[in-house]
Amino acid sequence: MSDSLAWNARYEAQPWMFGRAPNRYLESLAPRLPRQGRALALGDGEGRNGLWLARQGLEVTAVDWSATGMARAAAWAAAEGVPLKTETADLTRWNWPEAHFDLIAWIFLHLPPADRAAVVAGSLRALAPGGLLVLECFTPAQQGRRSGGPKEPSLLWTRDMAEAAFAPLQLLECLEGTVHLEEGPKHQGPAEVVRGLWRKPD
Ligand SMILES: C[S@@+](CC[C@H](N)C(=O)[O-])C[C@H]1O[C@@H](n2cnc3c(N)ncnc32)[C@H](O)[C@@H]1O
């Protein structure tokens, strides 16, 4: 079974496993995010972050390789009457536009190193000058905690990794440490994350 089918099965078995509210870190950045323009929600699952960004007035593309997740996101957006473009695609093979997005949200998307490098390169390419990139992912210290995240260590992020990955961007903030997650049944309780905000130079 490919990983996209495995994610389909997870979303079928437990709808809204990461909740319907947006990621708390992304939401906390609302005053600093663009109020208009184009946004890309990477690995957006069932659409909670893409839909929230669309509600803020952004023109959002949500991409995830889970057809189940994207279908749920599209149905949710239609029910709310909020425009949301959904694409079912493997981000490592996606046709990344150049200098296109004013905001990219990379929330709990954990990839093998080569895939991560491809998606980092795509994100750097796709950000417009002045565009922002928001990241929140689990760190190796999350291992053993029950608040979510992959078990495979190579999928996890550190602050050093994030700073190196997004070195061509201006680092606005980046922290690694313990936070309290309340994001659906899968992300509950103390958690170890790296979270940060970067800006592409003009
Ligand atoms: C932990 S979930 C997080 C979902 C969403 N970002 C959220 O915070 O609610 C990770 C998501 O990444 C997606 N994903 C993993 N690898 C992917 C890839 N190569 N291309 C597209 N989506 C991928 C999965 O299908 C899943 O929906």
Please, which residues have CB within 8 angstroms of residue 13's CB and are 6 or more apart in sequence? none
C-alpha 7 – ligand 1 centre gap (Å): 8
C-alpha 140 – ligand 1 centre gap (Å): 18
Predicted pLDDT of residue 80: 98
Indicate whether 172 pLDDT > 70: yes
Atom of ligand 1 nearest to the CA of 11: 27
Please state which of the ranges 1-15, 23-37, 80-94, 160-174 shows the lowest mean pLDDT.
Answer: 1-15
Predicted pLDDT of residue 186: 94
For the full predicted model, state whether its pTM sits above 0.95: yes
Query: What mean pLDDT do residues 37-57 have?
Result: 98
Sign of CA dihedral 171, 162, 62, 150: negative
Cβ atoms < 10 Å from Cβ of 121: 12
Indicate whether 44 pLDDT > 80: yes
Mean residue pLDDT of the chain comes to: 97
Ligand 1 touching residue 18 (CB < 6 A): yes
Query: What mean pLDDT do residues 191-201 have?
Result: 98
Strands 59-64 and 85-88 turn out to be: parallel
Query: What mean pLDDT do residues 73-81 have?
Result: 98
Atom of ligand 1 nearest to the CA of 184: 9
Q: Find out whether 176 and 201 touch, Cβ atoms under 8 Å.
A: no
Predicted pLDDT of residue 2: 63
Residue of the CA atom closest to atom 6 of ligand 1: 44
Atom of ligand 1 nearest to the CA of 19: 9
